[in-house]
Copies of this chain bind each other. A is one copy, B any other.
Amino acid sequence: MKHLLTLSYLGTAYSGFQVQPNTKTVQAALQFAATKIFDTPCGITGCSRTDSGVHANEYLAVVEEHGKASIPESAVARAMNTYLPKDISVFRCISVPDDFKIRHEVEGKEYLYLVWNHPCRNPFLSDRALYYPRKLDIEAMRKAIPYFVGKHDFRAFMASGSDIADTVRTITDLRIEAEADTVKIYVSADGFLYNMVRIIVGTLLEMSEGKISAERLEKAIETGERSLAGRTAPAEGLYLNRVFLNPHALNREENSRA
Report which A residues bind B (CB closer than 8 A).
8-10, 55, 77-78, 81, 86-91, 119-124, 126-128
Contact = CB atoms under 8 A, between A and B. Distances in A.
A126 B90 contact: no
A90 B55 CA distance: 27
A8 B126 contact: no
Contact of A81 (B77, B88, B91, B121): B121
Contacts of A121: 81, 86, 89
7 contacts: A8-B122, A10-B123, A77-B120, A78-B120, A81-B120, A81-B121, A89-B120
A148 to B, nearest CB: 28
Contacts of A90: 120
Contact of A87 (B55, B119, B126): B126
A10 B123 CA distance: 6
Nearest to A91: B120
